Amino acid sequence: MASRPSIDSAALPLAERYRAVRGLSEALAAPLSDADATVQPMPDASPAKWHLAHVTWFFETFVLRDHVPGRRPYDERYAYLFNSYYEGEGERHPRPRRGMLTRPSLDAVRAWRAATDAAVLAAVPTLSHEAVALVELGLHHEQQHQELMLTDMLNLFAENPLLPAVWDRPRNRPAPLAPPMRWIEGRRGIVELGHDGDGFGFDCEAPRHPVLLHGHALADRPVTNAEWSEFIADGGYRQPGLWLSDGWAWLRDNAIEAPLYWRRTGDGAWASFALDGLHPLHPAAPVSQISFYEADAYARWAGARLPTEAEWEASAQSLDPAEGNQLDEAGPVRPRAAPAGTGLRQMFGDVWEWTASAYLPHPGFRPAAGAVGEYNGKFMSGQMVLKGASCATPRGHSRPSYRNFFYPHQRWQFTGLRLARDL
């Protein structure tokens, strides 16, 4: 399959961008049966059918209902089924029970998507500036759900004892061990961070503000599977002194002994499951599907620490966020070994990188007005910031100021770590 152009390119008109983003979602779900798209493997994950429907509800509600006169809902019952967490939009179906929605069928959801797409595209030439901004927000929202759909599909198929491959493609021969980690000195002094207003940014990325950085260095690449294997072999999961108290309790309660999709093979070696099936562990690829607790424990074991959000973002400002191993087309996604080179590598792509920073508002933060203002600000409690992008992030979606966030115990996303240390 030929590579797609960057679907976030400013050179693409809005209608073309809309078609590209919505088309990629359909392509990602194309290999799924109705049953595949309906099952919910755990409360944190959602069925693929729900993802396809929810983003359609977003466009139908906030663009068509609110900005296209006379437009009626495709099916008035869908608002209850496919609202996620927008309290201002009324009651909704409980998140842990999304997998019980055997109806509407996957084909019915696709028909709804097609009708909504036709209505949005017909309205684009006449939309107000406010409505166009909501279309832009909806496209970035759908790109987030594309990544979530892939990671939720992976979690679903990992629960199947057959360990089926969604996309069955041969893997490249694993690279040798990565070169030794090198340290890159970070910026120090007062730096400006946060979204600068140029192009799209979520409300939580603003406003731009000064931050004081002290002497520090970042590792030139993320921690690899081979390095994580050494942590396991050295008893990293059995040493309480390496772990935060909450992390040690989580580890014990859930019998955690390795990253989420690692499995022992018959000869005792590690293999990992991905959307292209179960394969021997790639030693030079970044470790993935780890929690904040695991990342923090590893950093302590390695005699280092996790970078702060400000340290990471300041170092990434001179890099191109559209480079790296990111999502361009439907197919298997997996972290890959760092490319040869010097300086900071893999800051964007392969794995989201845990930071030591809590997800809190930037100084002067103000949520967007209306129901869409519930999108980010209401979650600024108990979560940690991740930076960069992953192999499942649509190319062009991220930027240095982007703030991904999850709870410390969550690890079904493509999450890894980069070490930092004080100077």
For the record, the structure tokens of 111 come out as 């028909």
Q: Could you tell me whether strands 270-274 and 262-264 are parallel, antiparallel, or unpaired per DSSP bridges? A: antiparallel
pLDDT digits (tens, 9 = 90+) for 39-94: 999 999 999 999 999 999 999 999 999 999 999 999 999 999 999 888 888 899 99
Range 341-367 average pLDDT: 95
Residue of 222, 219, 209, 215 lying closest to 401 (CA atoms): 209
**Mean pLDDT over residues 345-371, rounded?**
92
What's the pLDDT score for residue 250? 98
DSSP letters spanning 142-185: HHHHHHHHHHHHHHHHHTSTT---SS--PPPPPP-PPPPP-EEE
| Residue 182 backbone dihedrals phi, psi, to 5 degrees | -115, 160
Integer Cα distance of 261 and 273 in angstroms: 5
Three-state DSSP class for 387?
strand
Give the rounded percent of residues in the chain with a pLDDT score beyond 90. Answer: 86
Give me the mean pLDDT over the 228-246 stretch: 98
Is residue 1 scored above 80 in pLDDT? no
Name the band, by pLDDT with cuts 50, 70 and 90, for residue 9: very low
Predicted confidence at residue 8, as pLDDT, reads 43
What pLDDT, on the 0 to 100 scale, is given for residue 87?
83
pTM score, whole prediction: 0.94
- For 2-16, 213-227, 270-284, which range has the lowest pLDDT when averaged over its residues? 2-16
CB neighbour burial string for 43-74, b if at least 16 within 10 angstroms, e if fewer: ebbbbbbbbbbbbbbbbbbbbbeebbeeeeeb
pLDDT tens-digit readout, 140-165: 999 999 999 999 999 999 999 999 99
User: How many CB atoms lie under 10 A from the CB of residue 295?
Assistant: 27
Give which of 161, 100, 141, 42 is closest to 411, Cα–Cα. 42
Tokens of 239: 């040493």
249-296 pLDDT per residue, tens: 999 999 999 999 999 988 889 999 999 999 999 999 999 999 999 999
Q: Is the pLDDT of residue 171 over 80?
A: no
Residue 172 has pLDDT above 90, yes or no: no
In whole angstroms, give the CA distance from residue 140 to residue 219. 30
Q: Which residues of 378-389 are buried (b: 16+ CB within 10 A; e: fewer)?
A: eebeebbbbbbb
Half-sphere exposure of 342 (CA within 13 A, CB side): 1
d(CA 146, CA 133): 20
Helices of type H across 193-291:
225-233, 245-254
pLDDT in the model for residue 10:
41
| Domains assigned to the chain | 14-158 (1.20.120), 183-422 (3.90.1580.10)
Residue 242: the pLDDT is 98
Report residue 365's pLDDT band, with 50, 70 and 90 as the boundaries. Answer: very high
Position 374 scores a pLDDT of 64
Q: Name the token pair of 225.
A: 């599977």
Q: How far is CA 4 from CA 23, 26, 32, 88, 183, in A?
A: 11, 14, 21, 37, 35
Whole-number percent of the chain with pLDDT over 70: 95
Contacts of 369 by beta carbon, 8 Å cutoff, 6+ apart? none
Mean model confidence pLDDT for the chain: 93
Which among 309, 228, 233 is positioned nearest to 261, based on CA atoms?
Answer: 228
